[in-house]
A and B are shown apart, each in its own frame.
Chain A
Amino acid sequence: MRKAQCFLLSCTLLIGFVVHAQTSFPVNGVADERSGYYVFTNATIVKDAATTLSSATMVIKDGVIKAIGKDIAIPKDAVTIDCKGRYIYPSFIDIYTDYGMPVPQPGTGGFNFFGPTQFNSATKGAYGWNQAIKSEVDAYRSFAKDEAKANSLRELGFGTVLTHIKDGIARGTGALVTLANDNENFSIIKEKASANYSFNKGTSTQSYPGSMMGMIALLRQTYLDAQWYKQKPPGEGLNLSLQAWLDNQSLPQIFDAGDKWNDLRADRIGDEFGVQYIIKGGGNEYQRIKEVKATNATYIISLNFPQAMDVEDPNDARFVSVSDMKHWELAPTNPAALEKAGIPFCLTTSDLRDMKQFTANLKLAFQYGLSEQEALNALTKTPATALGVYSQVGSLDAGKLANFIITSGPVFNEKTQIIQNWIRGKKYGVKDDIYDEMRGKYKLVLNTVNGPVNYTLDFKSPSSASLIGKDTVTSKFYFDGRQVRINVAPERRLDNNLRLSGMVNGTQWSGTGEDSSGNRFTWTASYSGALAEKVDSARKRPSGALGKVTYPFLPFGWEEGQAPRQETILVKNATVWTNEKDGVLQNTDVLIRNGKIAAVGKNLQANDARIIDGTGKHVTPGIIDEHSHIAASSINEGGQSVTSEVRIADNLNPDDINIYRQLSGGVTTSHILHGSANTIGGQTQLIKLRWGANDEDLKFKGSAPFIKFALGENVKRSPANAGQQNRFPDTRMGVEEVLTDAFTRAKDYERSWKEYESARNKKGMTAPRKDLELDALVEILNNKRFITCHSYVQSEITSAMRVADKMGYKVNTFTHILEGYKVADKMKAHGANASTFSDWWAYKMEVQDAIPYNAAIMSRVGLNVAINSDDAEMARRLNQEAAKIVKYGGVSEEEALKMVTLNPAKMLHVEDKVGSLKVGKDGDIVVWTDNPLSIYARPDYTIVDGTIYFDRLKDEQMQKLVDAERSRLVKKMIGEKRSGAPVQQAIPSYEIMHSCSEHMHSHGLLVIDASEAGD
């Protein structure tokens, strides 16, 4: 009850005061300047997560903390507020909001394979070329307080936020503002407090970039352009976007990455240009905590945890994957995982479906291991430090802003309430219902004609009180701090009902009443003691064991510490397809040691080896797929006809089940190509199918750089909706000119750099603009990057070679090349390799003359020929596709197998490492149950670098584990629903599949083609 003092005193001082002295703003009436001079005494003051003072005093004046500590002299002219039993904390800071900002309307931009292309920015003014680079935008210019939003944040304990306009890849600057309901002039603490970036084009309607790798390339190029712009290059004119970009570099840089892999992608961009971003994560950082830690970034983490799904119907549950369910289970562990890993992080209210979830989800995070101390840091010191404003906010210290909260207990306790939220010395009542202070037992006396009747009233809340007489009965109760009404039947008899009405005078209440018979009486009530306090419930721990994080975070992934390891492996007594001059060897052993092939021969011995009995089995080199689109977050950057600046390597995605599925089909190496949406596509990446590795470790180290080109129907966008194709070229004639033009520009570019670099005196010279697009083409001209060119008909094949001849480069590989058989002699003269389908045809006009004899003819004419998949399904049967070349065209079985092993290795310039069973090459082999060219052959083992990544027996065991994990999670989700927690409808685990965007291979019910997904 004594607590109420604090309240009652402050209640009288509710009205805001202005903390500013002189002002240009006129006053209507009489000036009422107040300095807001307060002393808070007897409080438990948590200055910061590490420092707590008990029975301490804090003095504030003019919106600033003047003094804080244990033995502070209490100024006479300050209002004293007794905070006995209260806690004072620095108020929270959220550095990822768009508070008070205009909400951008989502754009319809992006490259649409079927619609028109927008080449230029739609932003009017002297800005840069790309509409998604909005570095010139300053949040503080648009800031307008929003009391409704501010109030909901204040209720959670926030006092300061960083706000920015969430629109664009470069989003300009963010402003640090308070949540005061005050003139904006005083709300803005720091007008330019951050520079913000994201992987989201927002409202940009421009086609480029239309992919993750395009966004990365755009950011990289913009960093380079900004450097170049410093010289004021005459050709550029005024570019306000680049100017602002440069100006913004000195600010804290915040990148909204939004996913664990994107975190790493953003960080790599930063590393390249000497920037350490503060990264807004995606809530799934726990799935790759080591990699996330290695970014050395401070993270901003949302408490938006996925809602449970309604999986009671097994037919709905059928389509929800174990990974989605497990993420639901483990998402609340994300903050704790970051803490455990020692990664500094801030918490944000961003992305929450409802602000109220913040508190609930924070509690959930505590249950899953987050410490209160770290949570407090994440809401105060860490964000303030990240922004470099810790001298102003983030702790309670003299000189800092008087931004603090007063709570009824330790701030994160279950029952603790935030009572007041002070911003710049101005009080905002969060729980102004003072019932909390008035609650308790009251002695109620009814002065009836028959004399006084005594009851006890248990006043629990403004709408709940029980009357205790002979029985304890619940009353209909109303209490608003001033008025009180009680409606109750003390003996539970409806015919004896009492209706009381009165006024509250502190702890003494009095009023009149009437019983059912109409008898009137007076009554009084007085405070007699506290209610039996319920002990604050202990933090609940999640029940039952949690699922384990697996690598990758997919079914069939491996748990920490159970990664498949490199072993010494001896396959005994198998039929061995060496792809070397020895040919196929019967009853032969293969020894793999240290990840390399150590020996191929008879009666090999190795004491330390795992022995695989190869009797009746066949051993081949691992399959190499020259044309694949798996394991990447985007494939096509079609916003322009030349996009040699984009790199598949920038957006590898190890969380692709197709890696595992293809291992089960014997694939060990895949060439991940850009799509065929444009003439000069992006840079490719060769990977090894190291299931569970991170994006960097998927890469085939030491492989030659390649780039994808494309010709024909896709490039001229024949599938585009009628009348919507406006991107040059629209014919094969135009395609030829795109190539000629690109390489002509590349040559000029190379020359201009050479001239610049060789100039003795660079004074007065402007350095050429470093152009990532042309850099890649210069590499091609210098034989440092190789082309794999999507192609079909003979005219385009020939003309591509003629442009190459003229410009002085080679087309290393023609891929698809379904009419290669018509010009195989010309291709041979050019020195091109051919990578084709076995038997695809008749799905589009340019494949009407495709024949399954193509590979055999090209091979017999003397070309190096590979069979590729371009398809996640077919890739796991590439051995069968090779076998078709025996059927169609009669090549030998050994030659056919080479078309999916040694031949692609040659055309990818990695034949010194893979493709045959030669001592010293990588230990990439497949053990088959049968002749590998037979439909009946299944891999028993697929081994990469001497590591068994697919083992058929282990696969069966893992399937059981996956099934068990599924049922555990389904049960848990159903439990969640039955416990009354809100659930959402079961959402099937759809997957986006990337392709060349041309053929119509169906991949099942849950696969969405990337082009349909608007990716």
Chain B
Amino acid sequence: MKKILIYITILFSLSVNGQETVYPAPRQVGTTVITNATVHVGNGQVLNNATIIITDGKIAAVGNNISIPPGSTQVNAQGKQVYPGLILPITNLGLVEIGAVRASNDVQELGEMNPNIHSIVAYNTDSKVINTLRSNGILLANVVPEGSFVAGQSSVVQLDAWNYEDAAYKTDGGLHVYMPSLLARPRRVRGAGPQQPDEDPVKEGLQKVDGLKDFFREAKAYYNQSSHTNTNLKFESVQHLFDKKQKLYVHANTVKQMLVALDFVKEFDFDVVIVGGSDSWQIADLLKQNNVAVILDTPHSLPTLNDDDVDQPYKTAAALHKAGVLFAISDEDGQTRGRNLPFNAGTTAAYGLSKEEALQAITLNAAKILGVSDKTGSIEVGKDANIIISEGDILDMRTSQVTDAFIQGRKIDLTDKHKQLNERYKRKYGLKDF
């Protein structure tokens, strides 16, 4: 802790203004070795007193009794905890700078059918939010467009980059569909009178979904022919759903919405991921049967209904785990912008999951769901060296202090705007570090 603060202080004396001087780290050269580490692999395993060898940005070796190559850069993790870089699986990072400032938002395009929208092209690597996430151990994020129905395609980015092409980790990994609400509309809040909703939102929503299914059927037929007089960009953009190179992310919370999402598995054999899933505990077995994964949105939420278990949102992850559903945890809170991802996971460990299972939900499981588990998500040989080191348990704010972080073996600068402003005003008041 002290070391990093001194480091920041030095940096500060060089440049006082903003994070503009926090440079993306250059490509890793040579070998970096993390020693004496308690390694939380990300797959449930914990290795004590282990060594990690990093070369060419990859994990070359991990385990005990590994010899340290001469000339390597050593990072002593004695007494610390080592984790895979955390993955924020759903975020508007880089698309929304300040929620209430319209001009700073590039997150929702007009129209209901935008399969050909790509989030990556608007991703702003200079967003001030990015570095605050790195400070809490988040090294990768899935940048997701929002919408009223078919919103567009998300891309996974790594969080230490000059520009979006640099940042791209997996481009256009999936299409995002926001399932229409299949709930009867709220009654008029005031006044007596019949409490009847104006229309049937279930029918209306299902019609919309039928339209989408027609679209996929036509798209499928369209691929049967290699050349077209009229090129259809929307059809072209969903081709890889059919060969499973892409996922279909269905943003859905209620049982009815999720049941509708199963249509896409049954008819088109897509890889479907439920995003949100507040009621997913009610149909966990069905999701498992259909190989549908869940990205659980922000466990730090209120229960849906007054009657619900007051801790239901904390317990849903454990219910999914018990049923064998592949699930990840996300943090979409608009006021903290994802930085509390590890603590959302930590809470699920207080309500039924083991700590390693909770960790897996923000590392390896997230990587699997996002289709990047071949490259990241765990500290295993051959994967990118996306690694964080913390003073203590990363899932508990009481002990979570990220001291070092590596993206693709590059040791990144953990300075962020908040730390800089902290230093600036500590200087004003003459406050010393503890």
Query: Which A residues are closer than 8 A to B by beta carbons?
Result: 106, 200, 258, 304, 315-316, 318-319, 321-323, 351, 353, 554-556, 657-658, 660-661, 664, 713, 718-719, 821-822, 824-825, 837, 839-845, 848-849, 851-853, 857, 860-861, 872-874, 877, 880, 883-884, 886-890, 893, 931, 933-938, 955, 959, 962-963, 966, 984-992, 998-1008, 1013-1015
* Count of chain A to chain B residue pairs whose CB atoms are closer than 8 Å in the complex: 208
When each residue 143-173 of chain B gets 1 if its CB lies under 8 Å from chain A and 0 otherwise, what string results? 0000000000000000000000000000000
Given the complex, which residues of B lie within 8 Å of A933, measured CB to CB?
397-398
Given the complex, which residues of A lie within 8 Å of B71, measured CB to CB?
none
CB-based contact A825/B306 at 8 Å = no
Within 8 A of A (CB), among B67-117: 97-101
9 further A-B pairs in the complex, CB-CB below 8 A; given A821-B425, A1001-B334: A315-B255, A824-B429, A852-B418, A877-B347, A884-B397, A990-B186, A992-B189, A1000-B99, A1015-B189
CB-based contact A990/B306 at 8 Å = no
Question: Could you show 28 A-B contacts with beta carbons less than 8 Å apart?
Answer: A200-B190, A200-B191, A318-B279, A556-B310, A661-B302, A824-B429, A837-B335, A841-B337, A843-B335, A852-B418, A860-B429, A860-B431, A873-B300, A874-B300, A877-B300, A880-B343, A883-B397, A883-B398, A884-B397, A887-B397, A887-B400, A887-B401, A888-B422, A931-B398, A999-B334, A1002-B332, A1003-B302, A1005-B253
Minimal Cβ-Cβ distance residue in B for A950:
B310
Q: Name B's interface SS.
A: loop
Given contacts A315-B256, A883-B397, A1003-B301, contact A936 B100 (CB under 8 A): no
* The one of B100, B191, B401 that contacts A844, using a Cβ cutoff of 8 Å: B100
What's the least CB distance linking B390 to chain A, in Å?
11
Given contacts A839-B339, A841-B335, A845-B101, contact A106 B183 (CB under 8 A): no
* The one of A824, A890, A934, A959 that contacts B309, using a Cβ cutoff of 8 Å: A959
Q: How far is the CA of A595 from the CA of B24 in the complex (A)?
A: 59
CB-based contact A990/B187 at 8 Å = yes
Q: How far is the CA of A180 from the CA of B270 in the complex (A)?
A: 71
CB-based contact B334/A106 at 8 Å = no
Q: How far is the CA of A664 from the CA of B333 in the complex (A)?
A: 22
Q: How far is the CA of A843 from the CA of B195 in the complex (A)?
A: 35
What's the least CB distance linking B106 to chain A, in Å?
15
Minimal Cβ-Cβ distance residue in B for A891:
B434
CB-based contact A321/B305 at 8 Å = yes
What's the least CB distance linking B348 to chain A, in Å?
10
Given the complex, which residues of B lie within 8 Å of A873, measured CB to CB?
300-302
When each residue 289-322 of chain B gets 1 if its CB lies under 8 Å from chain A and 0 otherwise, what string results? 0000000001011111111011100000000000
* The one of A837, A842, A990 that contacts B99, using a Cβ cutoff of 8 Å: A842
What's the least CB distance linking A771 to chain B, in Å?
29
Given the complex, which residues of B lie within 8 Å of A1007, measured CB to CB?
302
Given the complex, which residues of B lie within 8 Å of A963, measured CB to CB?
307
What's the least CB distance linking A57 to chain B, in Å?
44
CB-based contact B301/A1004 at 8 Å = yes
CB-based contact B396/A660 at 8 Å = no
Given the complex, which residues of A lie within 8 Å of B395, measured CB to CB?
935
Given the complex, which residues of A lie within 8 Å of B298, measured CB to CB?
1002
What's the least CB distance linking A843 to chain B, in Å?
4
Place the interface of chain B in its size category.
35 or more
Q: Does B30 contact A (CB under 8 A)?
A: no
Given the complex, which residues of A lie within 8 Å of B349, measured CB to CB?
935-936
Given the complex, which residues of A lie within 8 Å of B282, measured CB to CB?
318
What's the least CB distance linking A897 to chain B, in Å?
11
Given the complex, which residues of B lie within 8 Å of A857, measured CB to CB?
422, 425-426, 429, 431
Given contacts A664-B311, A840-B336, A985-B196, contact A886 B306 (CB under 8 A): no
What's the least CB distance linking A838 to chain B, in Å?
9
Q: How far is the CA of A989 from the CA of B186 in the complex (A)?
A: 8
Minimal Cβ-Cβ distance residue in A for B305:
A321
CB-based contact B350/A323 at 8 Å = no
CB-based contact B187/A987 at 8 Å = yes
Q: How far is the CA of A719 from the CA of B98 in the complex (A)?
A: 13
Minimal Cβ-Cβ distance residue in A for B297:
A1002
Q: Does B26 contact A (CB under 8 A)?
A: no
Within 8 A of A (CB), among B44-88: none
Minimal Cβ-Cβ distance residue in B for A258:
B192
* The one of A664, A852, A987 that contacts B195, using a Cβ cutoff of 8 Å: A987
When each residue 405-422 of chain B gets 1 if its CB lies under 8 Å from chain A and 0 otherwise, what string results? 000000000000111011
CB-based contact B306/A999 at 8 Å = no
Q: How far is the CA of A290 from the CA of B296 in the complex (A)?
A: 45
Given the complex, which residues of B lie within 8 Å of A318, measured CB to CB?
254-255, 279, 282, 305
CB-based contact B99/A321 at 8 Å = no
Minimal Cβ-Cβ distance residue in A for B312:
A959
What's the least CB distance linking A529 to chain B, in Å?
47
Pick the most buried of B98, B254, B301, B397: most chain A CB atoms within 10 A of its CB: B397
Given the complex, which residues of A lie within 8 Å of B417, measured CB to CB?
851
Given the complex, which residues of A lie within 8 Å of B255, measured CB to CB?
315, 318
What's the least CB distance linking A154 to chain B, in Å?
23
CB-based contact B334/A966 at 8 Å = no
When each residue 192-217 of chain B gets 1 if its CB lies under 8 Å from chain A and 0 otherwise, what string results? 11111100000000000000000000
CB-based contact A934/B398 at 8 Å = yes
Q: How far is the CA of A258 from the CA of B192 in the complex (A)?
A: 9
CB-based contact B100/A845 at 8 Å = yes
* The one of A825, A887, A1002, A1008 that contacts B189, using a Cβ cutoff of 8 Å: A1008
CB-based contact A321/B306 at 8 Å = yes
Given the complex, which residues of A lie within 8 Å of B119, measured CB to CB?
none
CB-based contact B301/A989 at 8 Å = no
Given contacts A719-B100, A842-B97, A1014-B189, contact A1001 B422 (CB under 8 A): no
Given the complex, which residues of A lie within 8 Å of B128, measured CB to CB?
842, 848
Minimal Cβ-Cβ distance residue in A for B355:
A936
Minimal Cβ-Cβ distance residue in A for B298:
A1002
What's the least CB distance linking B86 to chain A, in Å?
15
Given the complex, which residues of A lie within 8 Å of B192, measured CB to CB?
258, 304, 351
Q: Does B184 contact A (CB under 8 A)?
A: yes
Pick the most buried of B183, B302, B333, B339: most chain A CB atoms within 10 A of its CB: B302
Given the complex, which residues of B lie within 8 Å of A998, measured CB to CB?
100
CB-based contact B194/A353 at 8 Å = yes
* The one of B254, B306, B337 that contacts A991, using a Cβ cutoff of 8 Å: B306
Q: How far is the CA of A486 from the CA of B230 in the complex (A)?
A: 74
Minimal Cβ-Cβ distance residue in B for A873:
B302
Closest 7 pairs (CB-CB, A-B): A935-B346, A844-B100, A853-B422, A840-B335, A851-B418, A990-B186, A935-B396
Given the complex, which residues of A lie within 8 Å of B336, measured CB to CB?
839-841
Q: How far is the CA of A62 from the CA of B194 in the complex (A)?
A: 43
Q: Does B366 contact A (CB under 8 A)?
A: no
Given the complex, which residues of B lie within 8 Å of A931, measured CB to CB?
398
Q: How far is the CA of A900 from the CA of B183 in the complex (A)?
A: 38
Given the complex, which residues of A lie within 8 Å of B397, measured CB to CB?
880, 883-884, 886-887, 933, 935
Pick the most buried of A106, A988, A1008: most chain B CB atoms within 10 A of its CB: A988
Q: Does B278 contact A (CB under 8 A)?
A: yes
CB-based contact A1001/B429 at 8 Å = no
Minimal Cβ-Cβ distance residue in B for A661:
B310
Q: How far is the CA of A414 from the CA of B108 in the complex (A)?
A: 62
What's the least CB distance linking B344 to chain A, in Å?
9
Minimal Cβ-Cβ distance residue in B for A313:
B256
CB-based contact B334/A843 at 8 Å = yes
CB-based contact A955/B310 at 8 Å = yes
* The one of B335, B339, B350 that contacts A936, using a Cβ cutoff of 8 Å: B350
Given contacts A843-B334, A857-B425, A987-B184, contact A106 B401 (CB under 8 A): no
CB-based contact A106/B302 at 8 Å = no
What's the least CB distance linking B433 to chain A, in Å?
8
Within 8 A of A (CB), among B334-363: 334-337, 339-340, 343, 346-347, 349-351
CB-based contact B421/A849 at 8 Å = yes
CB-based contact B398/A887 at 8 Å = yes
Q: How far is the CA of A388 from the CA of B181 in the complex (A)?
A: 54
Q: How far is the CA of A452 from the CA of B136 in the complex (A)?
A: 105
CB-based contact A848/B396 at 8 Å = no
Given the complex, which residues of A lie within 8 Å of B431, measured CB to CB?
857, 860-861
